[in-house]
């Protein structure tokens, strides 16, 4: 297929660095004589024909901004066959030959269905704070989310020490514990609880008690929201009942999604955006752009969606050793 026009969508939850990826897609495409159509509001915007042609100047001054200027979102209409047919009609109306989707696994499931049903060209760019997609070491927004969490935990450590308290800090991650793992290790937390590993609260309590006997005046536990032992409030109650610790809970929530992207997120987003357009030029289709061992790689969308990416267990081991 002779591609002349590329459409670009941000879908699902936003993540800092999506603007940098959008900027890279637009400028790489324009520099190689493609037209680019920005689709506002995710797949719903494609269904509702909320589409605008972009020039290089339209993406000036956005690389440092959080969120995404074409807006992101989820679409119930796109889950239906009729909704997807309407989306493809609008692609044809705007002469869009290929679609670049910045998003996570749900967004890629939608793209994969669209490719298989309507034989379009589609490329995925991993934009999710969870860092849970198979086929890439890093996803756009993860590093920023971790740094936001670490700053918050550092501040909580100050007040925990002042009052001889235990803080349970809940970070985002319904099915993936990467934010908890990285922010917990970086902030010197006493325990890290994630969905990918079984949680032994008796072991956690033992670590806390041993720390107290050694003269620790504060302790921090970082828990991913999807940990099987329950949310932060439930865990706080259980630990308080077992140890008598004066506990406090802090749920960081959506603050982790926003803010200016870190330099790292801007860099990987820029590299992935350029690589997405390159992949179209090279005739690739139905793949996700990723970075593994600092090299651009392409993974079939189905693998990125279905295969499991597990955290490195040595991170938990290191965190426990250093918590003593």
Domains in the chain (CATH in brackets) are 5-141+261-306 (3.40.50.450), 143-257 (3.40.50.460)
Q: Which of 262, 233, 227 is nearest to 248 (CA)?
A: 233
Return mean pLDDT, the chain: 95
**Single pTM value for the model:** 0.96
Mean pLDDT, residues 11-24 taken together:
96
Q: How does pLDDT run across 97-118, given as a tens digit for each residue? A: 999 999 999 999 999 999 999 9
pLDDT of residue 1: 67
Judged against a pLDDT cut of 80, whether residue 3 lies above it is answered with: yes
| Residue 130 is a catalytic residue | yes
In DSSP terms, 169 is beta-bridged to 222, 250
The catalytic residue among 97, 130, 132, 143 is 130
The predicted pLDDT at position 239 comes to 92
Beta bridge partners of residue 127, listed in sequence order: 140
State both tokens at 126.
């991993």
Distance CA 208, CA 219 (A): 7
Whose CA is closest to 269, among 122, 98, 100? 100
Copy the structure tokens of residue 302. Answer: 């189905």
More confident: 244 or 43: 43
Q: pLDDT value at position 231?
A: 87
Decide if pLDDT at 79 tops 80. Answer: yes
Measured in whole angstroms, the distance separating CA 61 from the mean position of its chain's CA atoms is 23
């Amino acid at each position: 297929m002779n591609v002349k026009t590329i459409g670009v969508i941000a879908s699902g939850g936003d993540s800092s660095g999506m603007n940098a990826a959008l900027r890279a897609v637009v400028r790489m495409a324009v520099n190689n004589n493609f037209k680019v159509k920005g689709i506002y509001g995710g797949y719903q915007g494609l269904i509702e024909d909320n589409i605008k042609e972009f020039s290089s100047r339209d993406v000036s001054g956005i690389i440092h901004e959080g969120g995404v200027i074409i807006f992101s979102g989820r679409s119930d209409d796109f889950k239906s066959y009729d909704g997807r047919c309407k989306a493809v009609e609008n692609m044809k109306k705007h002469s869009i030959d290929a679609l670049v989707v910045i998003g996570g696994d749900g967004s890629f499931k939608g793209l994969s269905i669209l490719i298989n049903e309507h034989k379009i060209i589609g490329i995925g760019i991993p934009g999710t704070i969870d860092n849970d997609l198979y086929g890439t070491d890093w996803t756009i927004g993860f590093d920023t989310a971790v740094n936001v969490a670490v700053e918050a935990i550092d501040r909580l450590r100050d007040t925990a020490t002042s009052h001889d308290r235990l803080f349970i800090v809940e970070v985002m991650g319904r099915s993936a514990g990467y934010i908890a793992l990285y922010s917990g290790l970086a902030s010197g937390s006493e325990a890290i609880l994630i969905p990918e590993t079984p949680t032994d609260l008796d072991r956690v309590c033992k670590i806390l008690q041993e720390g107290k006997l050694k003269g620790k005046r504060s302790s921090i536990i970082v828990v991913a929201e999807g940990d099987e032992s329950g949310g932060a409030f439930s865990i706080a109650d259980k630990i308080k009942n077992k140890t008598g610790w004066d506990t406090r809970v802090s749920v960081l929530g959506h603050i982790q999604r926003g803010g200016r992207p870190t330099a790292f997120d801007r860099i990987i987003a820029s590299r992935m955006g350029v690589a997405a357009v390159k992949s179209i030029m090279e005739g690739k289709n139905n793949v996700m752009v990723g970075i593994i061992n600092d090299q651009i790689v392409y993974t079939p969308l189905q693998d990125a969606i279905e295969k499991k990416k597990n955290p490195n267990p040595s991170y938990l081991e290191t965190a426990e050793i250093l918590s003593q």
